[in-house]
Chain A
Amino acid sequence: MIALGLEGSANKLGVGLIRHDMTTTPPTVTILANLRHTYHPPPGEGFLPKDTAQHHRSHILQLVKDAMAEGNITPKDISVICFTKGPGMGGPLTSVATVARTLALMWNKELVGVNHCVGHIEMGRQITGAENPVVLYVSGGNTQVIAYAEKRYRIFGEALDIAVGNCLDRFARVLNLPNDPAPGYNIEQLAKKGTKLLDLPYTVKGMDVSFSGVLTYIETNAPALLASGEYTAADLCFSLQETVFAMLVETTERAMAHIGSKEVLIVGGVGCNKRLQEMMDQMASQRDGKVFATDERFCIDNGIMIAQAGILAYQTGYTTPLEKTWCTQRFRTDEVFVAWRE
């Protein structure tokens, strides 16, 4: 069976087509197309809901056409249409869901509304083959430490205020770094040239983390520090990354200790960061464990993860009736009944 997946909860618009060949055990999974178009605001700015929604509306139809052409798929080949129900930004989510609904009604297909976080997890599992890892889901909009137990992805710990990616993205604005390809990517590159570590607030509260304090601190003090010549922009990027990533490694390790896990799966846009992967790997090796990560095709928001999580649910008989295909900005990861796992 073939699923079309549509994703647009933040500034990345993704369209994916995935095939599950049900004649094998387990089914053979093939990615037929995974296309993305990203909305980049000018340096120094963040992306606002209205502009982001407009970007998605402008690009989604061509992206769907291109994906179907690349996968050599016609509407009759598609078994189910999956879309991001939430969490995320309201206007962008609804713009994409509107297309999903229209296609489903025109082509007479079922719809599956997918939780964005579960999409990341299921694609990470599929690509890496990790058995039962502690999942660190880190992006511009989300920061959660997750582990699977009894049909749900349980949130062991999370950011109490803003996501780690949001902290990084907003600091990038202070430095006026470009948003293309992503502010976090540009911070990562600049951080590689940093040598001096600035002592920054470090906030871990049990299983949870907090980033608004370190962001306020570095936003407030960066201009003076840079002007004094004591620290370069590269030093500040380096210091921020070392600090926030250490916080994430600490809480991930705590979760591993709690459940006795030897595997860490990092998903979400911040998961592309090589320094984070390196730090996590150092911790995991000390515990005789292993880190799984994917590349930017799957780390960064994409449509294929929505198709994957959607098709897994669909295979258990799950569909979303039309009247329930509304979108929601808040959608907890543990709200989803993970029927497709033991």
Chain B
Amino acid sequence: MAAAALNERLTLQIPLPSPRLAKIAADVLDVDKDLKPEVSRRLISTQDNILTLDFQTSTLKLLRTVVNSSLEMVQMVVSTMASFDTESEEP
């Protein structure tokens, strides 16, 4: 049986306040690996303060699912940073 072609793609570029926070967000999110890499993959990278999420899935439904759940976690990371980042307070 041929492997599923991951033809459905989406790239999200999310600006964070600083390169430091973008790297933290990337490291936090990347801990959770793809549940079924043969049909759904997420690649995380940073460039300066931009967090990039590259999604590749075999179906549109899977794409919606993985993008939605990723955004929920991104929202959690970003609001945690907004509430609790201490470095920005230091002189």
Contact = CB atoms under 8 A, between A and B. Distances in A.
A103 interface: yes
B35 to A, nearest CB: 9
A177 to B, nearest CB: 31
Contacts of A322: 27, 31
B32 A94 contact: yes
Interface string B36-78: 0000000000000000000000000000000001001101110
A326 B33 contact: yes
A102 B80 contact: yes
Contacts of A106: 24, 80-81, 84-87
Nearest to B69: A91
Main secondary structure of the interface of A (DSSP, over half): helix
Interface string A318-334: 00001101110000000
Given A64-B84, A75-B84, A105 B76 contact: no
Main secondary structure of the interface of B (DSSP, over half): helix
Interface residues of A, number: 25
A57 interface: yes
Interface residues of B, number: 22
Nearest to B79: A61
Contacts of A64: 83-84
Nearest to A76: B86
A101 interface: yes
Interface string A99-114: 1011101110000000
A22 B88 CA distance: 32
Given A65-B83, A102-B81, A106-B86, A57 B76 contact: yes
A94 B72 CA distance: 11
A55 to B, nearest CB: 12
A25 B7 CA distance: 62
B86 A105 contact: no
Contacts of A102: 24-25, 28, 76-77, 80-81, 84
A325 B31 contact: yes
Contacts of A98: 28-29, 73, 76-77, 80
Given A75-B86, A98-B76, A105-B28, 5 more contacts: A95-B76, A98-B77, A102-B25, A106-B85, A326-B31
27 contacts: A54-B72, A57-B75, A61-B84, A64-B84, A65-B83, A75-B84, A94-B32, A95-B72, A95-B73, A98-B29, A98-B77, A98-B80, A102-B24, A102-B25, A102-B76, A102-B77, A103-B80, A106-B80, A106-B81, A106-B86, A106-B87, A107-B84, A107-B86, A322-B31, A323-B31, A326-B31, A327-B32
